[in-house]
A and B are shown apart, each in its own frame.
Chain A
Amino acid sequence: MRDHESLVMDTVREMVERRTGTPATVTLDSDMIADLEMDSLEIAELSAVLEEEYGEDPYTAGTLARTPREVLAFYQSASSSKDG
């Protein structure tokens, strides 16, 4: 299983670059909708890729994560609740 941060960052970067055709700068705090202009199909794709890799994803769980950091927070929170 890939490290959460590298999978999230790589997936988001690849999707933006595929659409724009130019190298993209993505940070943990990039707003995927406002800054990176990802549309609903791209958010849907991110959700599907995360669900496929980890068996769960924030969007299916009802959290509309707007930044990579918010996506990672979902997994950290899920991990702590399992540990607890």
Chain B
Amino acid sequence: MLIELLRASADRDSRRALVVSDSRTATVGEVLARAEAAGAELARRRPRRLACVIEDVASLVAVLCGAAASGTEVCVCPTYFDDAALNELLDSLDAALVVTDTGRRPAGRDVVTVAELCAPSGAAEDSYDLAEDPELLILTTGTTGKPKPTRQRWSRLVAGIANDPGSRWLLTYNVNQFAGIQVLLHVLVNDGTIVVPASRRPTDAAAAIAEHGVTHASGTPTFWRLLLVDAGSSAGIGQHEMPLRQITLGGEVVPGDLLERLHRAFPAARITHIYAGTEFGSAVAVSDGLPGLPASLLERADGGRAQLRVVDGELQVRSTVGMVGYADDDEIAGEWFPTGDLVEVSGDRVMFVGRINDRINVGGTKVSPHAIEAAVHAVDGVALAAAYGKPNPITGSIVAVDVVAAPGHDPAVLKEAIRRGCEALPPAARPRLIRFVDTIEQRGGKVVRAAAADAGGSLR
């Protein structure tokens, strides 16, 4: 199905740009030729599973399309994994063949380079039988634990993609994660273009948006917060005319203040937040400008993509666009999936209050890092914040918060402003340690609170 999208797109215009970066443009025709070559070669080799460790986006698209066409189950592996983590993953997946453009050669495995796999072979598109509905493995981002491989079907993933012809998407994610695959599919379904920024730093992202005419950008709330800080600086997006028509947020809780700030900065863009997870797919899209989800979604008997319910405060999803199951486990399609997201129904909205496993126990009182971060993010001068529990001999834990200050803000003044901004929180939830740091570790664009807890920021 994937290669059929590419073939149809090439039939319409094979010279259209599919993947664009500052240094290179790959056309639909070029990527299709490489995908056909990869498909023919994989049909000849027939590996049980193919592991992709690929950095170049156009190459990854070609290999994914070739693998899907030949019926090869493929796992997109994070390129940031070190050798030990990669070997452990490959062992657990029993991946027979590894394709890479990184120069890495995992010991004891057959390794083929992207150049070898996608070398022009003169393969015609009818040189092998097209697979009907192949599967792929995508890892969860692992911000709250070890990444877990999920088994997905391309048909289900494509079913959740909206029609929006000609869109030019900024790639703020890796294509090896669920949200990155979503961007890829949006582009393949809609004859679109992927724009790859020079880096994921906000300045480079803003430059790519302006220089390459990006119309659609999807990122985590963390990504957008940092981009807005850049908007306020002289070198940032304030210098560019922004052609954005669609702003999409997902992967983390989306607070109301961020939606308002984005609307002020990009008044012409539609702003949508997505409730999605690697396991249950892209379940709900909300574009009404308000945080949380409409409570009416809980009453849908036949929910289209997904049904939602709340059990003991936890949101559960039954989805038609989610995973088939975890890697080699039984199929779980059709079952309710416990998301781990804690919610409260407030009026006509379902509001997110935290994750089941990230509450901080302060002397027996359980506090949510999300509520603390929302209070800190509302303080002018805070670019990004991560709240977490720090072990303490008196109360078990206390609340600490790492803060990246926006340029031009004095930490001592900002610290007092944060303390005042948190006075409305219950005493146990008020940050007792406020540390100013240059960066906060992210994985897949999301803040990693566990990393903040382990790091030694400087206390001022």
A: residues with CB less than 8 A from B are 18, 39-41, 43-45, 47-49, 52-53, 59-60, 62
Query: Across the interface, which residues of B come within 8 angstroms of A44, CB to CB?
Result: 363, 392-395, 398, 432
Bound CA–CA A41/B459 (angstroms):
19
Bound CA–CA A62/B394 (angstroms):
10
Bound CA–CA A84/B456 (angstroms):
29
Q: Is B417 an interface residue (CB 8 A)?
A: no
Give 17 A-B pairs besides A43-B394, A44-B394 with Cβ atoms closer than 8 angstroms.
Answer: A18-B419, A40-B395, A41-B394, A44-B392, A44-B393, A44-B395, A44-B398, A45-B432, A47-B394, A48-B432, A48-B433, A49-B433, A52-B459, A53-B459, A59-B393, A59-B394, A60-B393
**Chain B minimum-CB-distance residue to A52:** B459
CB distance from B427 to the nearest CB of A (A): 6
B373-404 vs A, Cβ < 8 Å mask (1 yes, 0 no): 00000000000000000101111001010000
Bound CA–CA A78/B19 (angstroms):
62
Bound CA–CA A39/B365 (angstroms):
15
B404-448 vs A, Cβ < 8 Å mask (1 yes, 0 no): 000000000000000100000001100011010000000000000
Query: Across the interface, which residues of B come within 8 angstroms of A52, CB to CB?
Result: 433, 435, 459
Q: Is the CB of B392 within 8 A of A48?
A: yes
Q: Is B362 an interface residue (CB 8 A)?
A: yes
B: residues with CB less than 8 A from A are 362-363, 390, 392-395, 398, 400, 419, 427-428, 432-433, 435, 459
CB < 8 Å neighbour of A41 from B390, B393, B398:
B398
Bound CA–CA A53/B435 (angstroms):
12
Q: Is the CB of B394 within 8 A of A40?
A: yes
Q: Is the CB of A47 within 8 A of B459?
A: no
Q: Is the CB of B392 within 8 A of A49?
A: no
**Chain A minimum-CB-distance residue to B420:** A18
Bound CA–CA A60/B394 (angstroms):
8
CB distance from A4 to the nearest CB of B (A): 15
Query: Across the interface, which residues of A come within 8 angstroms of B400, CB to CB?
Result: 48
- Of the A-B pairs whose beta carbons lie under 8 Å apart in the complex, a sample of 8, sorted by A's number, is A18-B419, A40-B394, A44-B432, A45-B398, A45-B432, A47-B393, A48-B392, A48-B398
Bound CA–CA A47/B394 (angstroms):
8
CB distance from B395 to the nearest CB of A (A): 4
Bound CA–CA A41/B390 (angstroms):
13
CB distance from B435 to the nearest CB of A (A): 8
Q: Is the CB of A41 within 8 A of B427?
A: yes
**Chain A minimum-CB-distance residue to B365:** A41
Bound CA–CA A53/B460 (angstroms):
10
Query: Across the interface, which residues of A come within 8 angstroms of B362, CB to CB?
Result: 41
* Interface-central residue, A18, A48, A49, A59, by most chain B CB under 10 Å: A48
CB distance from B428 to the nearest CB of A (A): 7
Bound CA–CA A41/B422 (angstroms):
15
A41 in contact with B433 given A48-B390, A60-B393 (CB within 8 Å): no
**Chain A minimum-CB-distance residue to B397:** A44
A49 in contact with B459 given A40-B363, A44-B392, A60-B393 (CB within 8 Å): yes
Bound CA–CA A39/B395 (angstroms):
11
**Chain A minimum-CB-distance residue to B398:** A44
CB distance from B460 to the nearest CB of A (A): 11
Query: Across the interface, which residues of B come within 8 angstroms of A49, CB to CB?
Result: 432-433, 459
* Interface-central residue, B363, B392, B459, by most chain A CB under 10 Å: B392
